[in-house]
Amino acid sequence: MCKRQNRSNSVFDSQKPLVVLLGFTPCNLQYYRLALLHKSALVTDGNGQKLDNERLEFLGDALLQAIISDVLYKSFPLQDEGFLSMMRSKVVKREHVDELAEKIGLPSLVQGRANNNSHMYGNALEALIGAIYLDQGFDKCKQFVENQLLLRYVNLERLAKIDEDFKSKLIGWGQKQNKIVRFELIAQERQDGNRTKFHSKVYIDDTEMGLGVGFTKRQAEQNASKQALRKI
C-alpha cells in the first residue's frame, strides 16, 4: 500500500488534477514533482543540487518507445518492420508528443518557463511516464500510455493512412527553386526471409543531400528525401 505523504505548497496541494490525469492515485509524489519540474524553474535541493526532469525524461522516452512498439506489433499483425517503424515514428515524434501533453493538460502542472522553441511539455510527458514506471511498475505505466493517451487521443488506423510524402515535398521544392532533384539506388541487400533492403541517395543539382534506407525502393527514397529536407 502507498504511504500517505506530506505535500508542499505546489500543484500537489491537491492531488485531484494529477489523479484525474493519471487515472490512479500515485504512491510516491516525489517522482511526479520531479517529472513536472523543468530546468528553467531553477529549483535546487537542500545541498544546492539542481533539480529537473531530464533523467526521468530519458527513462520515459525509452519506455514510451517500447510500449508503442508492443502496441503496434499486436495491432498490425500483417505489417512488416518498415511499416511498424514508420508508425512508431509518427506516434513518438516530438511534435506529436507535445500535442499529447497539451491534450492531457500538462501545461497547467509543469513548473518552468516555456518558450516558442521548447518541447517542455512533451519532455514532461516522457518524464511523467518515467515517474509512473518508478512509482507503479511497468504494467501500470503501459496502462497509462494505452488508456490515457492512445485510446483517447490517437487513432492508429487513421494515422496509418497519413502519408508523409517527403519525396513529393522535395521535388515540389526543387521545381519552385529551379533545382534538379534526382534519386540514385546505390545498393540492395538481401536480408533473412528473402527480404531486400534498399539504399538510395538523393542529389540536388549534383550535390548529395541525403541517404535513405528501407525495405522498398520508395521507402528508401522517402527517407533520403526526409534527410534532404532537413538540410535545405
* Furthest-apart CA atoms within the chain: distance in Å: 67
Output the CA torsion sign for 117, 120, 123, 125.
Answer: negative
Q: Which of 57, 61, 98, 221 is catalytic?
A: 61
Active site residue 61: yes
Nearest 5°: phi and psi at 111?
Answer: -100, 120
| CA neighbours closer than 13 Å in the CB half-sphere of residue 51 | 17
Residue with grid cell 485531484, as numbered in its chain: 16
Cα separation, 42 vs 49, whole angstroms: 10
Catalytic residue, chosen from 52, 57, 98, 126, is: 126
Residue 199 Rama label (left phi>0; alpha psi -120 to 50; beta): beta
Q: Note if 189 is an active site residue.
A: no
Tell me the residue length of the chain. Answer: 232
Please state the φ and ψ torsions of residue 78, each to the nearest 5 degrees.
-100, 0
Residue type, 190: R
Measured distance CA(22)–CA(35) in Å, rounded:
13
Which grid cell sits at 103?
491534450
* Positions marked active-site: 61, 126
